[in-house]
């Protein structure tokens, strides 16, 4: 009996190589960087979606997170800092049959690319946007970003950051995104399911992913390891939307919600554009 239970539990290891460009590994990310964990959740979600590699176009801007497309065997575009959304919009309009997935950092999407981000959400163009939110500009050496918590140290806020943060999910929802969710690299299995739902959604879907930059955010803020950061910000710093109503207020206060936060239907941009073309032709 014990043997059977063990056998039932047994799962074959997931074959990531099918989706990777294995010769590109090891990737450039530092030891303990959350971006690699997120990439694995994303690959498993794509596998579960049933989409073929050729049906996907992955687009990114610039940043450590934006290096992701270099490691995967899809149609990929590594573009300009903050401009991935404009490129992705072009790809989707030219080839609406593709599943467009945008990979961005908190700096890429919410600072330099903030304008492109909100207008993409407003149009409700069919694409999935992942925002890897590690509270800092990793690639350029740890400058503060729109998600750096107040009081936190960055190379450009040596005495503590005085700026209030953007809540990426609130921003996406207010701008018009029709699917908004949050996950973490610690809850990597939930994240896989959330990304799968985002991919299946028709319209602009945004997933903010809290992950960790041990090299800059961790070191500057005296967090000794990736593990400590995952425990503090991801495991203990978030609450699942499914549990939030059952918890006493003191267990929820100051924590970010995790899970699917907003899901509605609204006309999709490419389809509306198509209707316009058909109408004009008929005239």
Partner 1 sequence: MAEPAKKPANIVINESLCKGCSICVDFCPTNVLAMNGSVVAVKNLEACTKCQLCDLRCPDFAIQVF
Residue 174's binding partner out of ligand SF4, ligand TPP, partner 1, none, with CB under 5 to 8 Å set by partner kind: none
Among residues 124, 145, 125, the alpha carbon closest in space to that of 65 is found at: 145
Is residue 194 classed as helix, strand or coil in its secondary structure? helix
Q: Does 209 bind ligand TPP (CB under 6 A)?
A: no
Q: Nearest approach, Cβ of 184 to ligand TPP (angstroms)?
A: 15
Q: Does 236 bind partner 1 (CB under 8 A)?
A: no
When binding is defined by CB under 8 A, the residue of 57, 101, 131, 188 that contacts partner 1 is 188
Query: How many residues lie near partner 1 (CB under 8 A)?
Result: 34
Q: Tell how strand 179-184 and strand 256-263 pair up.
A: antiparallel
Q: Nearest approach, Cβ of 115 to ligand TPP (angstroms)?
A: 13
Query: Which strands sit side by side in the sheet containing 127-133, from one edge to the other?
Result: 75-78, 56-60, 99-105, 127-133, 204-210, 179-184, 256-263, 238-240
Taking the least distance from each CB to ligand SF4, the nearer of 199 and 213 is 213
When binding is defined by CB under 6 A, the residue of 32, 34, 36, 63 that contacts ligand TPP is 63
When binding is defined by CB under 6 A, the residue of 41, 60, 65, 215 that contacts ligand TPP is 65
Among residues 90, 160, 154, the alpha carbon closest in space to that of 125 is found at: 90
Round to whole Å and give the CA distance between 35 and 202.
26
* Strands, E assignment, the chain: 56-60, 75-78, 99-105, 127-133, 136-137, 143-144, 179-184, 204-210, 238-240, 256-263
Q: Does 209 bind partner 1 (CB under 8 A)?
A: no
Q: What is the DSSP letter of 31?
A: T
Residue in the shown chain whose Cβ atom is closest to ligand TPP: 105
When binding is defined by CB under 8 A, the residue of 65, 68, 120, 185 that contacts partner 1 is 185
- Joined together, the tokens standing for residue 236 give 């203990």
Q: Does 138 bind ligand TPP (CB under 6 A)?
A: yes
Contact positions toward ligand TPP, by CB under 6 A?
Answer: 62-65, 81, 105-108, 112, 132, 134, 136-140, 145, 213
Contact positions toward partner 1, by CB under 8 A?
Answer: 2-3, 6-7, 9-14, 16, 20, 25-27, 29-37, 40, 185-186, 188-189, 214, 225-227, 230
């Amino acid at each position: 009996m014990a043997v059977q239970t063990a056998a039932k539990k047994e799962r074959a290891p997931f074959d990531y190589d099918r989706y990777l460009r294995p010769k590109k590994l090891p990737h450039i990310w530092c030891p303990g960087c959350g971006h690699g964990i997120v990439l694995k959740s994303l690959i498993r979600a794509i596998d579960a979606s049933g989409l073929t590699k050729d049906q996907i176009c992955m687009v990114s801007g610039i940043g450590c997170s934006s290096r992701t497309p270099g490691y995967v065997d899809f149609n990929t575009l590594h573009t300009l800092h903050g401009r991935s959304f404009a490129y992705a919009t072009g790809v989707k309009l030219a080839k609406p049959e593709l599943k467009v997935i945008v990979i961005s950092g908190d700096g890429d999407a919410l600072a330099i690319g903030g304008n492109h981000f909100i207008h993409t959400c407003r149009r409700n163009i069919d694409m999935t946007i992942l925002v890897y939110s590690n509270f800092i500009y990793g690639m350029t050496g740890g400058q503060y970003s729109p998600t750096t918590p107040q009081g936190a140290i960055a190379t450009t806020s040596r005495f503590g950051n005085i700026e209030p943060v953007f809540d990426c999910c609130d921003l996406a929802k207010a701008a018009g995104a029709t699917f908004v969710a949050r996950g973490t690299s610690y809850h990597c299995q939930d994240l896989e399911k959330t990304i799968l739902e985002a991919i299946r959604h028709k319209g602009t879907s945004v997933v903010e992913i809290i992950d960790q930059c041990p090299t800059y955010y961790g070191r500057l803020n005296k967090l000794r390891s990736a593990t400590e950061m995952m425990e503090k910000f991801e495991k203990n710093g978030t609450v699942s939307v499914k549990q939030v109503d059952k918890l006493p207020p003191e267990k929820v206060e100051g924590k970010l919600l995790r899970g699917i936060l907003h899901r509605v239907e609204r006309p999709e941009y490419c389809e509306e554009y198509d209707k316009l073309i058909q109408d004009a032709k008929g005239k």
